[in-house]
A and B are shown apart, each in its own frame.
Chain A
């Protein structure tokens, strides 16, 4: 069996074709299902055909709605805004994690608390957030931040602890102070890994974003799909889901590109 050959070295063309096989199969299966269902019932809404989805997309993306707005654009801006505001708050998690990793007293004060805090299911406190902060933007951003902050702080803490003690001693013998050690020796060394952690947590952030939007919002990508669900508007839901996936993929890709271009020393030690 060639598929399970450990020493296999597939060529470039074969690799490319094989890597898109599952995409093609899924899209084809979807198209066939849609076609068959429409043969039976031309008004079927559960599995829309591609022309129907293109039409749906055209309506939300390129045609103004009753308020004269382009819905996809407005929703995207609203969701991205929440995403980036949360991201700004999450950068504080990196700083906290760094302080915990470098200064023992900071570790004692924060580590146990954050480890516990991390175990609180963020979605379970969503009602509390709505009660305290109301249904506005604050509670949605708070949900994302509360959900992801501990993970990033704890991971940064672990990475900072992994930096060999020799590096701290070395920096001291070169005349560096303790804050120089934190910000010029430890942080830059762990930063690419921390970026990776943040990147992998994009998924959790989007999850909390959609959860928040689905319950209380007047605009946003998550809000829209839950709204049109009432009319079984699969021709709009599916393009929205694909659009969100593409945005997430793009964000992930940009961070990977950033690490690769900016931190050329990463991976050399292996």
Chain B
């Protein structure tokens, strides 16, 4: 079985303002298959966004490997689309131009545009029609001429999603995309992204700090946290402590969101990963998803030693 994304033994260390090294990600392993809706949740400061940057390629791990389709990730490229919480859209372009941007930039570099102005103009028409079709799909057919700041927060994120999808990326990365939206809009957007996922058969990696959102959306949910313990005296840097398949039917319904089943999963994940007072031991991590794998150092987990429980 080939995996779309493969991370192994990834460590990330930064220096603080005094020049002292500290670890953000500690020995991370992860494999992701095509077609999944993966949600990544964790407390603030756990390194969710760092992990996303590694996968995107805007940052390289000092240790460990990040492979996309078997090749090391070196820079952001058109295979991995991204939607940020803010600044996804180009404020100086209209909604339609934002969608056309990628199609245009990929096909026509500046020099090519200068050499073949007529061909560019002709192609541009085609791009605009294509973009308009995408706008219709996300329910914004009449907003093409507006500038991003003239739209509501929810509409802006719809445009940002359409802008990424039009390039048909192999995976769509989303960094707390609905974090700045009000409750009602957020709900609408959750149904919207689920609908797009099912229709387009995409692969999504969705980062959020909202546990409810993570469980509701994901077919597979990961918890990344700095709250855990091991046989080492001191633990630094986050690990994936939970990697599970979320049971439950697609398409998701509101009833599912508030079901007892979900409530129980939520409680467990909240306890295991988000509670600073509880430090789960590395041997007790719930890594039951079929694609889950990890490497543990002997120092972290002295097998057979029964002194802790």
Contacts and interface: CB of A to CB of B under 8 A. Distances in A.
B169 interface: yes
- Best-surrounded residue of A166, A170, A184 (most CB of chain B within 10 A): A170
A188 B75 CA distance: 24
Interface stretch (B19-27, B36-44, B61-69, B101-109): B101-109
Interface in B96-154: 101-102, 105-106, 109-110, 147, 149-150
Interface string B83-101: 0101110111000000001
B237 interface: no
B281 interface: no
State the majority secondary structure of interface residues on A. helix
Nearest to A264: B147
B102 A175 contact: yes
A121 interface: no
Given A169-B82, A174-B106, A189 B76 contact: no
Interface string A137-166: 000000000000000000000000000111
Given A174-B167, A269-B149, A169 B110 contact: no
A105 B101 CA distance: 27
Contact of A170 (B75, B87, B149): B87
Contact of B105 (A164, A166, A174, A263): A174
Given A170-B82, A179-B110, A185-B90, A268 B105 contact: no
A169 B76 contact: yes
B21 to A, nearest CB: 23
A183 B110 contact: yes
Contacts of A55: none
Interface residues of A, number: 25
Given A166-B86, A180-B110, A174 B92 contact: no
Contacts of B58: 165, 169
A164 B86 CA distance: 10
Interface residues of B, number: 29
A175 B105 contact: yes
B222 to A, nearest CB: 22
A179 B80 CA distance: 20
B78 A179 contact: no
Nearest to B108: A180
A172 interface: yes
A189 B105 contact: no
Nearest to B79: A173
B88 A180 contact: no
B92 A263 contact: yes
A269 to B, nearest CB: 5
A237 to B, nearest CB: 45
A215 interface: no
Interface in A158-207: 164-167, 169-177, 179-180, 183-185, 188-189
A269 B84 CA distance: 17
A268 B91 contact: yes
Nearest to A175: B106
A156 to B, nearest CB: 16
Contact of A184 (B76, B77, B105, B169): B105
A184 B106 CA distance: 12
B81 interface: yes
A172 B77 contact: yes
A166 B84 contact: yes
Contact of A172 (B75, B92, B147): B75
Return the 5 tightest CB-CB contacts between A and B, nearest first: A174-B102, A175-B106, A268-B149, A176-B105, A166-B87
7 contacts: A169-B82, A171-B101, A174-B102, A175-B102, A177-B109, A180-B110, A188-B92
Given A174-B167, A179-B110, 20 more contacts: A164-B86, A164-B87, A167-B87, A169-B58, A169-B82, A173-B56, A173-B78, A173-B80, A173-B164, A174-B101, A174-B105, A175-B105, A175-B106, A175-B167, A179-B109, A180-B105, A263-B92, A265-B92, A268-B149, A269-B91
